[in-house]
Amino acid sequence: MLIFLWLPGYAVASVADVRDVRLWTAPDNTRLVLDLNKTVVYQVFRLHKPERIVIDIEHTRLHTKLDRLPLPDPVIQSIRHGTPKKGVLRLVLDVKEVVQPRSFLLKPMQGKPYRLVIDLTRPQQARKQALEASKMRDHRKLVVAVDAGHGGEDPGAIGPHKSREKDVTLAVAKKLAALINNKPGMRAVLIRKGDYFVPLSKRWKLARQAHADMMISIHADSVRRGNAKGASVYTLSERGATEDKAAKALAAKENAADEVGGVAFDEVHDPMVSRILGDMFRRDSLNSSQILAEEIIGQLKQVGPIKYGTPKRARFVVLSAMEIPSVLVELDYLSNPSRERKLRNASHQKRLASAILDGSLNFFKKMGRLKPQKNGKQSASMPQSPSGIAVDAIKHRSSDV
């Protein structure tokens, strides 16, 4: 069965080269990325018994090795290549289960070449995760969604010593999640557990599916000036814009992650849920995010320099689950060599994670969400929205990614 056929408006005159092949493994999908020196005509189709995915690329040669890919992975057992007919490069992916392929071409941008992206989604795994999420509906622990920015094809900011934002954010996110899980009455959900790409709209939807009571998205900034330093915390702008030019520029840069990481044009949805939620509910949620941001800034001041002493607001796509108090934390500047060394240090990463946790605890206490028990430990009240409306009672109409 033919899955995808891409035909540009002109013929490919000369032979294209596949110069690199990379593999990214996520819990519910595997992504294969082919770097090309020019645009190509290709088709992707499935074969059964045994299950395999075939990629035919016209007028193309393989100029890299496939044996260095980390295979087998949870989806792909092996990859083979050949030339079924003159001028056609064929890649055969031997898969372990029935998968749904999706493919698209990306044009050159931000130093990256033409890329052919093949996503293999796992329907069975997706159903399993949906069942697990439904079983957690009646949880009594406070759930904190911890989102490590960037990942996979999107490295984020890169420091003078080649530190990648995606690695720093994941390290801090994992430390924060561990600290949260050690707190009675609380549980962490990592939006990204490894080095793979997650679209921005899917990040807040995963937080919603986990019935999160809070979402913290972790990032590290970068600017041309090498002496910039300090942490900052951002919340969602109610009107989809901001008068602060620096915040607006940062939001534009972070929102561009989908283009860098690889999202097809029809995969980008309008994340604005303000039309779904009432004005009062939306305003209460945004005010709660503001309080959360202030608490986190207060704690980060004890760990290192602060760029902005008060929270900034901008239109961050990743913060679009407006019923969940959500903040985006910029830990520091990777573009500053001395701060870059700090961000790479495991002890400093843990101090940053501890500060974010303390700010989160202070927020839950202010909201009356953490109540002391007789033994001195804390317990969580039933999950509710900032305005007192049970989160599970809200019906959302936004589609899954």
Q: How far apart are CA 23 and CA 41, in angstroms?
A: 21
Q: 383 pLDDT exceeds 50?
A: no
* Contact by Cβ (8 Å): 378, 184: yes
Q: Which stretch of DSSP H or E encloses residue 274?
A: none
Q: Quick one: pLDDT band at residue 377, thresholds 50, 70, 90?
A: low
Count CB atoms within 10 A of the CB of residue 219: 30
Q: 242 pLDDT exceeds 60?
A: no
What residues have CB less than 8 Å from 15, skipping those under 6 apart? 59, 60, 61, 87
pLDDT digits (tens, 9 = 90+) for 272-295: 433 433 343 444 556 788 899 999
Give the per-residue pLDDT at 400. 25
Domain 136-388 CATH class label: alpha beta
Q: 156 pLDDT exceeds 70?
A: yes
Q: Quick one: pLDDT band at residue 61, thresholds 50, 70, 90?
A: very high
Q: Quick one: pLDDT band at residue 317, thresholds 50, 70, 90?
A: confident
Using CA atoms of 251, 269, 235, 285 in order, give the dihedral in degrees to the nearest 10.
Answer: 170
pLDDT digits (tens, 9 = 90+) for 63-102: 999 988 999 999 999 999 999 998 899 999 999 999 989 8
Q: How far apart are CA 249 and CA 375, in angstroms?
A: 48
* Contact by Cβ (8 Å): 295, 364: no
Q: Give me the DSSP letters along 201-252.
A: HHHHHHHHHTT-SEEEEEEEE--S-TT---BEEEEE-TTS--S-HHHHHHHH
For residue 357, the SS3 value is helix
Q: How far apart are CA 31 and CA 116, in angstroms?
A: 10
Report the residue count for the chain.
401
**Taking Cα atoms as reference points, which of 255, 17, 360 lies closest to residue 370?**
360
Mean pLDDT of the chain: 80
Name the pTM for this structure.
Answer: 0.69
What residues have CB less than 8 Å from 167, skipping those under 6 apart? 195
2-123 is a CATH 3.20.20.140 domain: no
Determine what percent of the chain is predicted with pLDDT higher than 90.
Answer: 50
* Contact by Cβ (8 Å): 242, 328: no
Q: Quick one: pLDDT band at residue 265, thresholds 50, 70, 90?
A: very low
Q: 40 pLDDT exceeds 50?
A: yes
Q: How far apart are CA 19 and CA 348, in angstroms?
A: 38
Give the per-residue pLDDT at 229. 94
Structural domain spans, the chain = 2-123, 136-388
